[in-house]
Each structure stands twice: as C-alpha cells, then as structure tokens.
Structure 1
Amino acid sequence: MKHLITVNSGSSANLVAFSALTSHRLGDRAIKPGDEVIGVAAGFPTTVNPILQFGAVPVFVDVDTATHNIDASLIEAAISPKTKAIMLAHSLGNPFNLDAVTALCKKYNLWLVEDCCDALGATYNGQMVGTFGDIATLSFYPAHHITMGEGGAVFTNNAELKKIAESFRDWGRDCYCPPGKDNTCNKRFSWKLGDLPEGYDHKYTYSHLGYNLKITDMQAACGLAQLDRLPEFIAARKHNYAFLKARLKSCEEFLILPEATPNSDPSWFGFLISIRESADVNRVDLINYLDQNKIGTRLLFAGNLTRQPYMLGRNFRVSGELARTDEVMNNAFWIGVYPGLTEEMLEFVVSKIEAYFGVGF
C-alpha cells in the first residue's frame, strides 16, 4: 500500500476511514446523511457505529454459516439508489468473498471499506486483504496479531483519501505538513479558505470536523519492534487453528467447526464454534463449564447488532432476514489461537470439550 496513517485504536481507524468518505472534497461520491452502507450485524459494533454517527443508514445482510462472513449472494438485493458503500470486517481473520464484493462495488460505483482489524496477514487469491478496497483498517489491541497496547492504522492507495483521513485524525486541519515540517505547500500564508482572511496561517485552518486520534512515539516503537515477529505470530496462529480443527472433528456431531473462505489463506484471530441445534446443548452451560476449567471463550462480539440495547430506535435497514445472524447470537462462541498456546494446552482444551459431550468415554 502507498499510504498508511496510525491512530490510537482499531475503532478509531474505522471512524477515520469512514469519515474520510464523507468529505466534501469527494463531491457527489461523498457519503451524506441518509445514504446507505451495506454491512453485517454479526460482528463488532465499531465497524457499524461510524455509519450511524454520521447520519448514514447501515443496511444489514445475513452471514453464511461456514465462514460467518457476509453471504455475498444476498448483497445485490440489498443495494438501493441510496447505497454508497460496503463496509465489512474479515471475520476473525477469515476473508470475506472479495471477488463477489469487489465486482459489486465496481458495478454500482460503491466505496469498499475493509475492516482488517482481526485479519492482519490474511490473503485472498494470494493478495493481502486490505488492498482490494478503497480504504482499510487495522487494530493493534493487545489480543490482535501485533500490539501497541492500543493502536490502529488506516491505509489506502488513494492519495486524496489519505490526505482526508489524516485531516480527520489531526483535528480536521487542512494543512498536510508532516510532523516537524512547515510550509510543505510553499504557500502557508497565501491561502484563502472559508471566510478567513486571505493569508491566514494554513497550519491553523480546519476543513473537517475532526478529532485528535494520534498514537504516541512509545506505541509506535512497540509496533515496529513486533513487525519482525509478525510472520512467526501468524504461523503459530495457523498451526493452533489447524490443531483444533483436526482434533475437534471428534465433536462434529455436536459442533459446527469453522471453514476458511474458498481461495483464501486466513490469518486466524480465533477459532469459532457453533453448537448444532440437534445437540440440545445450552451455550451458557457449555461456556460456564469451559470457564470453570480455565478455558477462556468469547462470543462473536455483538451477536446480532440489531438486538443490542443501543440500537433501539436507531435508523437502520435489514435486507431479507437475519436468521443465520441470530444463530450466531444464540449458538456461537470462539476460543483463542494465541501464539503462546502450546499443543499441550490445546490438547487440554480439546479433552475438556470432548468430556463435556461424552466423546471417547
């Protein structure tokens, strides 16, 4: 990628990336209040929140059972004359169907925002995720592939979007001088913008309703130090995923195991498990049992975002039904593939799950 800016979290990265698409500098393609943005409800709220915060309308499409990403076959039916963008995360490091999504974006002239916060290093058809869309995001939260404690990034090949994103990150200022530099444009005191007097200092001219979302030097140093180990971390996550996938096949009578998206090489963030309806097992009972055995679990974030308390009365649209999203909400959970997990630890996890279902006894 040609351009990358750092921010203080993955959620801030999503906010900045989406904000960039609302800029007046984009003319008719700018997202405006009332415009629609397609996404999923089975995911993390801050992939969707910026849409609502800017007065646009999220349009929710159901996910598929195997990958827990958007069901690409349902997207076109969700597109309306108001649709301006598609904003999706690669669920737990598993890429969504980028062939289908990019084709629709091209056909309907839609922006594509790739939330890669869980997917650093994943590829689709041999190409890194985040390089297919117009703008993409990363998170460096402690649980992610590399960490700065907190941190994130926005990246793009579009120089104009980079400049706009940087403006939103840096208080909304119009000046694009890098830190420690002045007068990059060679007309610092020659601009005439807004209703300001001619020659007003460009460093103190603001073209967007911006934020202050920069990282510290210490965070940047932590991130740079981990980059050299990123291939090692990704390989360990893939190994741990493969171990769990192979060993938990013994429980497939009761559990639906995750599947990689066709033509992809995921960079796994977690191992997602769904309890089969036929298993007649209560998820709360299972995850409480795992917790009692010191095995941490997580739900797939918001489950069905439309059912979260803060969404009551919000302006959104559902295309079709969200039946499989509800299945995620009711039956799915995930366990970690953190690089520090040993095969002995993973074998312990498998043995406890097998014991719960009476497998091998």
Structure 2
Amino acid sequence: MKNEILLDAPNLGELEKEYLIKCIDSTFVSTAGPFIPEFEEKFAKYVGTKRAVSVQSGTAALYMALYELGIGPGDEVIVPVITFIASVNPIMYLGATPVFVDVDPETWNIDPKEVEKAITKNTKAIIPVHLYGNPCDMDGLMYISKKYGIPIIEDATESLGATYNGKMTGTFGILNAFSFNGNKIMTTGGGGMITTNDEEKAEHIKFLINQARDASRGYYHPEIGFNYRMTNLEASLGLAQLERLEEFLNKKRRFAKIYMENLQDVKEIKFQKEYENAESSWWLTSIKINSDKSISEIQSELKEKGIPTRRIFVPIVEFPPYQKFKTSNYKNAYEIYERGLNLPSSTVNGYDSIKFVAEELKNVI
C-alpha cells in the first residue's frame, strides 16, 4: 500500500481549522467563553442526557464522578480487570479500594455474575468499561445496581456513539465519563465529559472544577475545588468533531464489517462480540488469534508490511501498584490479553487500506 496505515490517529480537516480560528478571533481561548457551554449542550443532546459537564480528561471525568458520590478510604469500587489504567487510577487517588473482576470471554466486558459475587458491605460503586467501544451487559448491571442500591459510573471513554437497547452508552449510570484524547473517536486534543440526568450533581461538579469559586462573593471558595476545566480552544475543536461524528462512526463500523467479511473463513480468528441488543462504536476493531505464532510474532510480521497493531490492555493486577489486589486467576482476561490484538481503525485510513490489512493478516496467520 502506498498510503500510510494508521492505528488510531485523529481525523482533522478544514472544519476544525475554521472553528479554531473562530475561537482565536473571539479571544475566548481559555476557560471562560461561549464555546464550552455550546459544546456541553450539544453533547448532552447527542447522547441523550439532561446535562454534560466538560473537564480536562476522561480521567478527570471519572475522578469527579467518584468524588461527587463521596467515595473515599474504606470504600470499594468494582472494576473489570482488563481495561486502560485510567479506569482505575482515580479510585486510588481517593484512597478507595479497587475490586477487580473477570470479564466475559466473548464480549471482553465486565461480567455481571462476577460483579454480584464481588459485592460486600463496603461496595460503593461499579464502573463498567465499554471496552474498545463495545457496550457492556447494561441490563444485568442495572439489575444488580437496583438490587443492591449501588450506583453505576459508566466508563464510556471509548464508546461514544455506541448503543445498548437503542440507548447511548454514557446514559445508564448516575454519572458517566467520556474521553476526547487524540486517539478517541472524536477529539478535543485532550479533554473529557461527564454526562448525567442529575441537575444538582452536574451543577456541583461544574462548581468544583472551577476551584469551587463562589463568584457572587468574589474569590471565595467554600469547598476544596479543582482546576479541571476544559478550554474554549478544546471545545471549539469538539464542536467541529461533533458535527463529523456520524461520519466517523459510519467509517469505524464499515471497517469492522470489512475485517469480518475478509477474515470470516480464518478459523484462528475470533472478533470481540457484541451483545445481541448492542451496537459497538468499534473504536478499535479487536480480535483474538489462536495460532501457533505468538501475538508478538504476528505483530512483528505485520509491522514489516507497514501495518501497526496494538496489544490488548494488560490485566491491571499485573502492575506493581495493583498486584496486592489480585484475588483470582482472571482466566478470561488473561486469555484475551495473551491472544488479543487491536487492528488499524483510524478513520484517516481508506477502505482499501483496511482490506489490505485483512489480507496480510490472513497471510501471516
């Protein structure tokens, strides 16, 4: 292939330049100005929640969600063992304890049966992660949430545009987190968003992320606050990307379909599976390969052909700060990690590039 194949690079063009110039010309480039409230309003409308509060990252979104629920030392938060580290670090920031559970072997997402087994009197939240854009079993999780009175915080950082029972991810939990990092479906360069139907919590979080400043009394701060605000520059970029979001989602889903069509006869390959009533955003099309070759060997051979890939996330309990929390062998998660691979999914790629990747992967295996 003549064109470079990209794993997860952002898709930026003339519309993004137009919005950024508009923001610069307005001089509202920092955290005060019209672009942030417009972005928040349009984002909330898109996903289908009453409110959206912009923050500096997906990590900040998860942290503020946990903080707003009053989670701290002595509290436990249930999380899947296979996810990006940012799903778990905010629990530790607050002095709470992460409780890791195994994932479903087909969807790779948190297993509700394992969640229920892990509940104790100290469980204060459940964080399902829609891994690689694939929605979790929200029916099972919401049943558990209601049964035990434990709030759900969705980590929807990878799943913008994905749906479960026709409802967007990031709308099921009491507070939910999205990420706009450079490699996500849409980007603001960095940045994140909290979505909620709780107006009171949204207002309080918006207050807290602005250093908990009571502007009616000048520089008066009745609570400990944070500087987690998004900038107008980021929000202007977000507005442009939001206009193109359906274009990005359609392309991601088409990529997944091309991979599946071209690799359906390769018995060694299994795709991450969607629940019957779910539609993934396919942020990253991901597969499990059962062959005599190691994943590292396969990656190396693909790299020689100009094809970038990425390993599946390492089970969190492998990292030194989290090894003490290992309570199981997490059989499914380790198998997915050992045999799993993310394929090129950047919307900068063309359809011919994706077909080329599929053919070369077939040859390598």
TM-score by length of 1: 0.84
Q: Does 1:355 find its partner at 2:355?
A: no
1:290-309 correspondence to structure 2 within 5 Å:
290-301=302-313, 303-309=314-320
Distance 2:363 2:195 in 1: 45
Residues 165-186 of structure 1: per-residue CA shift (max 9 Å, x gap): 2244222x153xxxxxx53xxx
1:43 aligned partner, one-letter code: T
Aligned counterpart, 1:179: none
Matched-pair contact (CA < 8 Å) for 2:79–2:99 = yes
Aligned counterpart, 2:197: 157
Distance 1:311 1:60 in 2: 10
Aligned counterpart, 1:274: 288
Distance 1:234 1:100 in 2: 26
1:34-183 correspondence to structure 2 within 5 Å:
34-171=74-211, 173=212, 175=214, 182-183=215-216
Question: For structure 1, which runs of at least 5 residues remain unmatched after alignment?
Answer: 23-30, 176-181, 189-200
Per the alignment, in what secondary structure is the counterpart of residue 172 of structure 2?
coil
2:258 aligned partner, one-letter code: F
- Paired residues in the alignment total 317
Distance 1:268 1:222 in 2: 22
1:22-41 correspondence to structure 2 within 5 Å:
22=70, 31-41=71-81
Aligned counterpart, 2:50: 2
Aligned counterpart, 1:207: 223
Distance 1:353 1:48 in 2: 33
Aligned counterpart, 1:265: 279
Q: 1:57, CA displacement in angstroms?
A: 1.0
Is the radius of gyration larger for structure 1 or structure 2? 1
Residues 235-292 of structure 1: per-residue CA shift (max 9 Å, x gap): 11111111111111122x222222112210111101111122xx22211111111112
Aligned counterpart, 1:219: 234
1:330 to 335, 338, 344: 338
Matched-pair contact (CA < 8 Å) for 2:252–2:345 = yes
Per the alignment, in what secondary structure is the counterpart of residue 250 of structure 1?
coil
Q: 1:123, CA displacement in angstroms?
A: 0.8
Q: 1:321, CA displacement in angstroms?
A: 3.7
Question: For structure 2, which runs of at least 5 residues remain unmatched after alignment?
Answer: 1-48
Q: 1:21, CA displacement in angstroms?
A: 1.5
Per the alignment, in what secondary structure is the counterpart of residue 211 of structure 1?
coil
**Root mean square deviation of aligned Cα:** 1.6
Residues 315-351 of structure 1: per-residue CA shift (max 9 Å, x gap): x363x54011111222211113222222210111011
Aligned counterpart, 1:12: 60
Distance 1:163 1:120 in 2: 23
Q: Does 1:343 find its partner at 2:360?
A: no
Distance 1:34 1:221 in 2: 41
> CA distance change for structure 1 residues 310 and 294 in 2, over 3 Å: closer, same or farther?
farther
Q: 1:300, CA displacement in angstroms?
A: 2.2
Matched-pair contact (CA < 8 Å) for 2:302–2:364 = no
2:244 aligned partner, one-letter code: R
Q: 1:160, CA displacement in angstroms?
A: 2.5
Task: Say which structure, 1 or 2, has more relative contact order (CA 8 Å, 6+ apart).
Answer: 2
Percent identity over the alignment is 32
Per the alignment, in what secondary structure is the counterpart of residue 111 of structure 1?
coil
1:139 aligned partner, one-letter code: S
2:309 aligned partner, one-letter code: T
Matched-pair contact (CA < 8 Å) for 2:317–2:326 = no
Residues 283-310 of structure 1: per-residue CA shift (max 9 Å, x gap): 1111111112111111223x21000133
Comparing 338-347 with 260-269, greater Cα deviation is found at 338-347
TM-score by length of 2: 0.83
1:151 aligned partner, one-letter code: G
Distance 1:150 1:351 in 2: 34
